[in-house]
Amino acid sequence: MKCPYCDSKRTRVIATDHDARGVRRRRECRACGQRFTTLERAILTTPLVVKRDGRREEFDRDKLLSGLRISCARRPVSADDLERLVDLVEARIRQEGKAEVDSRLIGDLVIAELRELDPVSYIRYAIVYLGLEDLEAVRKEINRLLSE
Ligand SMILES: [Zn+2]
């Protein structure tokens, strides 16, 4: 951390404090002796989603949820399970700490979680979102699941 007074890089932390807004560090410059405080906080903005065709759009949890509800219709997956899944996806893409994430990352996260939750819902989801367009691709995916 550079000193804001003299630009020296020779600064040291003299105290660290945690509060609701993040981590505050009291620092002292070894060059000029000035003291200053830095605040370190997580960036919690949700990144933009880059779609396959290159368009960007806001992460839309309602859209993701409604897609999941369709995939999980009449399956033993509760509304709570789906909310948790979407929460997890949202938290994970925020953790990336980037301004943009590839839509495939979201697809991969959903697929991985849905496979654990309910294989039938997973296959339904995969058919639509992985673009398993023919029966052969679907059969391959089902065989892969059955062999695990
Ligand atoms: Zn200084």
Question: Where exactly are the structural domains of the chain?
Answer: 11-40, 48-147
Ligand 1 centroid to Cα of residue 40, in Å, is 20
Q: How confident is the model at residue 136 (pLDDT cuts 50, 70, 90)?
A: confident
Q: What percent of the chain has pLDDT over 90?
A: 43
Ligand 1 centroid to Cα of residue 4, in Å, is 7
pLDDT of residue 31: 96
The Cα 17–Cα 32 span in angstroms is 23
Contact 3, 11 (CB under 8 A): yes
Ligand 1 centroid to Cα of residue 55, in Å, is 45
The model's pLDDT over 16-71, given as tens digits with 9 standing for 90+, comes to 998 767 789 999 999 999 999 998 876 667 889 998 889 999 898 889 999 899 99
143 is written with which tokens? 């065989």
pLDDT of residue 68: 92
Mean pLDDT of the chain: 87
Over residues 121-138, mean pLDDT:
80
pLDDT of residue 43: 60
Ligand 1 centroid to Cα of residue 45, in Å, is 32
Residues 6+ apart with CB under 8 A from 30: 8, 10, 11, 12
Q: What percent of the chain has pLDDT over 70?
A: 95
